[in-house]
Amino acid sequence: MLTLLKLLKDGRFHSGEALGAALGVSRSAVWKQLQHLEAELNLPIHKVRGRGYQLAAPLVLLNADDISANAPTPAWPVYISESIDSTNAEALRLVEMGRVAPFLVLSEQQTAGRGRRGRKWASPFAQNVYYSLVLRIDGGLRRLEGLSLVVGVAVMQALREAGVKGVGLKWPNDVLVGQKKIAGILLELVGDPADVCHVVLGIGINVNMQKTVEVDQQWTSAQLETGHAVDRNYLVARIGAQLQAYLDRHQASGFSAIQAEWEQNHLWQGKPVSLIAGVSQIDGVVLGIDGQGALRLNVNGVEKIYSGGELSLRLRDDS
């Protein structure tokens, strides 16, 4: 199917006869493959008698050479899949197989994409960016402090470079435009964080998605915000460049070197919020974050610190 998709990706009409000749199959076999494309990848295909078949919109697939061409420095080794369960899961499998970090895993589609707290991540084919960078961490818990927040700043800056205006951060791992989510971050560790471990920096970005029924919260995409399709290969390259710069700063000086920049871009800074932890709810006002990336809240006039992967932050109705 991928070969057929590459023939159609220019968005022009192609006759069944020409497609069959290129693939070495009959026109009826082409028709069956087209039906599979529509059903399995949810790609609308126009069929016009006398003209042939045309994708509803041109398609730009992920390509390692195009990513490298947009990167200011040599990119990390990249593994691109047509469809996998999730890029984080694939990255962890590659670590178990002994693949040497750093390396990057991308996919056109995820069949079991995951967000924080077990949420499903909508992952339509060839519309968004599903990105997992694997790093080796040698003997330093300090290198993990505030790491997900560092990734958030890098993603925010890459989206700004792609023309998305009004993009900012929400503690701990979301990137928003206004109140709408455009990207999320999921970090996973394997190994001993006090000795040698690997961390997977999982990033999901809504790039060219314009509609979905799979998301149960307000969301937006780069295309919805800019009014035009965004080149995903360019965006992947810019994410890599921003990540490299911020990771270098983080390694050299710790999270404290990035703390002020993160707070300046926190869209909920100074806002009344509710912090949800299981069945518990804590109401307070956001003061900022500390040097390890934990949330600082004013709770009834007292500053309190909160951290943990299962916490969820929501704006209060009186905000």
pLDDT of 23-36, one tens digit each? 888 888 888 888 88
| pLDDT (0 to 100) of residue 298 | 96
Q: What is the pTM of this model?
A: 0.89
Domain definitions of the chain by residue range: 2-55, 64-264, 272-315
- Long-range residue pairs from 220-223, CB within 8 A, at least 24 positions apart, any chain: 220/177, 220/178, 220/180, 220/181, 220/182, 221/128, 221/182, 222/159, 222/162, 222/163, 222/164, 222/182
Catalytic site residue from 143, 181, 232, 238: 181
- CATH entry, 64-264, from 3.90.1720.10, 3.40.50.970, 3.90.1150.10, 3.30.930.10: 3.30.930.10
Residue 268 main-chain phi, psi, to 5 deg: -105, 15
The confidence score (pLDDT) of residue 319 equals: 44
Encode burial over 181-190: b for 16+ CB neighbours within 10 A, e otherwise: bbbbbbbbee
Q: Does residue 123 sit in helix, strand or coil?
A: coil
Catalytic residue among 116, 143, 232, 238: 116
Quickly count: other Cβ atoms within 10 Å of residue 302's Cβ: 8
Question: Which alpha helices (H) appear in 131-231, and where do they start and end?
Answer: 147-161, 222-226
C-alpha span between 168 and 271 (Å, rounded)? 14
Helices (H), ranges, the chain: 2-8, 16-23, 27-41, 64-69, 87-96, 147-161, 222-226, 232-253, 256-264
Please report the pLDDT score of residue 116 as a whole number. Answer: 57
Task: Single out the catalytic residue among 12, 47, 314, 316.
Answer: 314
- pLDDT for residue 193: 78
49 an active-site residue?
no
Q: Which two tokens stand for residue 153?
A: 């700043």
Residue type, 71: A
Binding-site annotation: residue ranges for biotin: 86-88, 110, 114-116, 181
CA trace torsion 191, 237, 43, 30 (10° rounding): -100
Low-confidence ranges of the chain (pLDDT < 50): 319
The CATH number given to 2-55 is 1.10.10.10
- Cβ partners under 8 Å of residue 134, min gap 6: 91, 94, 95, 99, 101, 102, 103, 104, 105, 198, 199, 200, 201
In whole angstroms, how far apart are CA 161 and each of 66, 144, 167, 236, 268? 17, 26, 11, 11, 22
Sequence ranges of the binding site:
86-88, 110, 114-116, 181
Percentages helix, strand, coil for the chain, rounded to the nearest 5? Answer: 35, 30, 40
DSSP state of 266: B
DSSP 120: B
CATH number of the structural domain 272-315:
2.30.30.100
Instruction: Let me know: does 264 contact 173? Beta carbons within 8 Å.
Output: no
Q: Is 116 a known active-site residue?
A: yes
Q: What pLDDT is attached to residue 80?
A: 95
Kindly report whether the peptide bond that precedes residue 102 is cis, defined as omega within 30 degrees of 0. yes
Active site residue 181: yes
